[in-house]
């Protein structure tokens, strides 16, 4: 028997679990197995500042000293390839077998591969890892026409940076609006307007059908389902991700869009938990099971799991929040806004800022802002309170979240 906590995955969630365990007083061995080479690093800058100003050291969560001081073992460049639940051991890609007292699955996601002709051509790239970001940065420097397949956060962040650097940029989005999975229509419209105004050619309802070979083994363009051929010397595919859950599934754990966990972030095996992008967890009162891809979720779930592993179990119920920097525009989202049936909109493109309060069945469920950080912070506070805010209460304040927050603070 061992007390060792073994963490599969050295990303945001895996690193945070190890750091929190030490902070929470866990004394036994902690070992992280990470597929990527090197020390754990943060991904958000990869599609933002890193393209313009690359400095890998600035991405690191902590340097090597931190790991040594805190007795956090890291085997990088290795994957966990199998789990033996009966023996409580894992097998690594180098053939080694390691025993665990508790296994944390923090394996994240990988980019969805589109089954398109030409997808393997040399200058068709994705963005998930530091290695991807290096590759993208080098290729952007020599490119003049970029086609981005997928109008989500990452595709639009790169599109804005590439456009600012003078490239001709086209974004192909399969649905009727940008970031349609995660933001309300007013926010999609705002970003459509600002990207178009900056010269990005945004095509909605536009499906890529093939990547065209330029005759020399490189992509020369993208063909859309309507048969249009858009020239390109670089193609970025940013069409969503797939959770890395195969090792969990092979071990007999329940997997459905991620490794399924309960509100303590535990799988059906008491010795295995799953957190971060790879985990599907219960959310809200309606029995929903969701999977989120965000730094907030990875960090808060890691902290919650650490508390349980040191003997203080708490239900996971943190408010989700997100951000995305697209050129000079800062999008911030508090709460989950899909399913809203009423939007209160303040501002717009002409004001250079926007605030969208999203209501469902007469209650505030989330707030999306562009360039209004004060509203975002107020929304996070208000939405974290146990009692939901009604439409009437928000209306009575003149839809002024900062005033509502102050009123709440003075009451409490
Ligand atoms: C370019 C980019 C920009 C982003 N920008 C933002 C942003 O602005 N705001 C925001 O909130 N979020 C952003 N995100 C999302 C955020 O980075 C993720 O939600 C977060 O990293 C999730 O952490 P994680 O630890 O669950 O997964 P990851 O960080 O993906 O880490 C998982 C790690 O596990 C490794 N792994 C997989 N399988 C195995 C295995 N079997 N054995 C060992 N290791 C394994 C993977 O290689 C990876 O290193 C961005 C993501 C990307 C890619």
d(C-alpha 129, C-alpha 410), whole Å: 45
- In the predicted model, residues of the chain with pLDDT beneath 50 are 411-412
Structure tokens at 211: 């990547």
- 223, 320, 332 from 335: Cα distances, Å: 37, 5, 10
Most informative mutation of 8, 35, 300 for ligand 1 (most atoms within 8 A of CB): 35
State the helix-helix crossing angle for 153-164 and 185-197, rounded to 10 degrees: 20
Q: E strand or H helix at 219, and its extent?
A: strand 219-224
Give all strands (DSSP E) within 71-186, no chain letters: 72-76, 80-84, 89-92, 97-99, 102-105, 109-111, 124-125, 145-149, 168-172
Q: How far is the CA of 13 from the centre of ligand 1 (A)?
A: 8
Three-state DSSP at 208 gives: strand
- The total of other beta-carbon atoms located within 10 Å of residue 25's CB is 9
What per-residue confidence (pLDDT) applies to 286? 79
The helix (run of H) or strand (run of E) holding residue 403 is helix 401-411
> DSSP 3-state assignment of 137?
helix
Alpha carbons 371 and 374: distance in angstroms, whole number = 9
Cβ density class 104-139: b for 16+ within 10 Å, e for less: bbbbbbebeebebebbebebbbbbbbbebbeebeeb
Which secondary-structure segment (H or E) carries 235?
Answer: strand 234-237
**C-alpha of residue 173 to centroid of ligand 1, in Å:** 23
Query: Ligand 1: which residue has its CA nearest to atom 45?
Result: 9
8 Å CB contact between 235 and 125: yes
Catalogue all structural domains in the chain, each as residue range(s) with its CATH number. 5-110+242-309 (3.50.50.60), 124-239 (3.50.50.60), 328-411 (3.30.390.30)
φ, ψ at 98 (rounded to 5°):
-130, 135
Buried b (16+ CB within 10 A) or exposed e, 206-225: bebbbbbebeeebbbbbbbe
Q: Kindly give the number of the ligand 1 atom that is closest to the alpha carbon of 46.
A: 1
Q: Could you tell me the strand order of the sheet in which 30-34 lies?
A: 72-76, 30-34, 5-8, 102-105, 272-274
Nearest atom, ligand 1, residue 133 CA:
1
Q: Ligand 1 pocket, 11 CB below 6 A?
A: yes
Pocket-testing residue among 15, 33, 107, ligand 1, by greatest number of atoms within 8 A of Cβ: 107
Ligand 1 in reach of 14 Cβ (< 6 A): yes
* DSSP character string of 60-89: BSS-HHHHHHTTEEEEES--EEEEETTTTE
Task: Give the pairing type, strands 124-125 and 234-237.
Answer: parallel
* CB of 10 closer than 8 Å to CB of 36: yes
Residue 30 Cα distances to 16, 105, 314, 403, angstroms: 12, 14, 21, 46
Nearest CA to ligand 1 atom 27: 108
Residue 143 and residue 169 in contact, taking contact as beta carbons nearer than 8 Å:
no
pLDDT at 53: 87
Question: In angstroms, rounded to a whole number, what is the distance separating the alpha carbons of residues 109 and 279?
Answer: 10
pLDDT in the model for residue 408? 74
User: Exposure of 284 by Cβ count < 10 A (0-12 exposed, 13-18 middle, 19+ buried)?
Assistant: exposed
pLDDT attached to residue 412: 42
Residue nearest to atom 31 of ligand 1 (CA): 11
Name the closest-CA residue to atom 7, ligand 1: 44
pLDDT recorded at residue 409: 55
Q: Which atom of ligand 1 is nearest to the CA of 292?
A: 19
């Amino acid at each position: 028997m061992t007390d060792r906590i073994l963490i599969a995955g050295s990303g945001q969630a895996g690193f945070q679990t190890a750091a929190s365990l030490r902070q929470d007083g866990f004394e036994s061995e902690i070992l992280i197995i990470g597929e990527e080479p090197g020390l754990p690093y943060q991904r958000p800058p990869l599609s933002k500042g890193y393209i313009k100003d690359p400095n890998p050291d600035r991405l690191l969560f902590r340097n090597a000293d931190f790991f040594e001081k805190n007795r956090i073992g890291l085997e990088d460049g290795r994957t966990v390839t199998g789990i033996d639940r009966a023996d409580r051991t894992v097998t690594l890609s180098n053939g080694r077998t390691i025993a665990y007292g508790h296994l944390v699955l923090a394996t994240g996601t990988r980019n969805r591969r589109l089954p398109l002709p030409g997808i393997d051509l040399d200058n068709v790239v994705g963005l998930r890892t530091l290695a991807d970001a290096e590759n993208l940065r080098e290729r952007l420097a020599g490119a003049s026409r970029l086609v981005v397949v997928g109008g989500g956060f990452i595709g639009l962040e790169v599109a804005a940076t590439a456009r600012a650097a003078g490239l001709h940029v086209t974004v192909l989005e399969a649905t009727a609006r940008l970031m349609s999975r995660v933001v309300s229509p007013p926010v999609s419209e705002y970003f459509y307007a600002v990207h178009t105004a900056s010269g990005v050619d945004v095509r909605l309802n536009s499906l890529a059908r093939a990547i065209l070979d330029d005759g020399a083994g490189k992509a020369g363009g993208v063909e859309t389902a309507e048969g249009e051929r858009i020239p390109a010397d670089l193609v970025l595919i940013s069409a969503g991700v797939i959770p890395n859950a195969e090792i969990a599934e092979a071990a007999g754990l329940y997997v459905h869009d991620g490794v399924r966990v309960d509100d303590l972030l535990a799988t059906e095996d008491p010795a295995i938990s799953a957190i971060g992008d790879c985990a599907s967890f219960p959310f809200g009162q309606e029995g929903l099971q969701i999977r989120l891809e965000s730094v907030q979720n990875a960090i808060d779930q890691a902290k919650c799991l650490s508390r349980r592993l040191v003997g203080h179990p708490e239900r996971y119920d943190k408010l989700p929040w997100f951000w995305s920097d697209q050129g000079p525009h800062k999008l911030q989202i508090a709460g989950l806004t899909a399913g809203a049936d009423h939007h209160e909109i303040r501002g717009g493109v002409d004001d250079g800022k926007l605030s969208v309060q999203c209501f469902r069945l007469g209650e505030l469920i989330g707030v999306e802002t562009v360039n209004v950080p004060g509203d975002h912070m107020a929304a996070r506070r208000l939405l974290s309170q146990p009692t939901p805010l009604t439409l009437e209460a928000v209306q009575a304040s003149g839809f002024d979240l900062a005033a509502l927050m102050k009123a709440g603070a003075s009451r409490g």
